[in-house]
């Protein structure tokens, strides 16, 4: 559940009205970092699949089971 933050608060959600909010810059940056990391992992798995399909299949299933 989102917590209403004041205009000078750090992080969190910044409320414009009671119904609409925008993401703070901190959350936007963190989301961008997480997306970048996920894309890098996906690219690495695709490269591994191109090199050795059997090993890449085992690695991708191991990654999914750990998550």
Show pLDDT as tens, one digit a residue, over the chain (67 residues): 556 666 666 666 655 555 556 677 788 889 899 999 999 999 998 888 888 766 666 666 655 555 5
Return phi, psi of residue 58, to 5°. -65, -40
Per-residue pLDDT at 38: 94
Per-residue pLDDT at 40: 94
Contacts 24+ apart (CB under 8 A), 34-38: none
The Cα–Cα gap between 13 and 5 comes to 7
Per-residue pLDDT at 16: 59
């Amino acid at each position: 559940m989102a917590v209403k933050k004041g205009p000078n608060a750090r992080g969190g959600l910044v409320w414009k009205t009671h119904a609409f909010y925008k993401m703070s810059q901190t959350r936007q940056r963190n989301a961008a970092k997480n997306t970048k990391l996920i894309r890098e992992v996906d690219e690495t798995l695709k490269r591994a699949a191109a090199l050795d399909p059997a090993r890449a299949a085992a690695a991708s299933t191991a990654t999914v089971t750990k998550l």
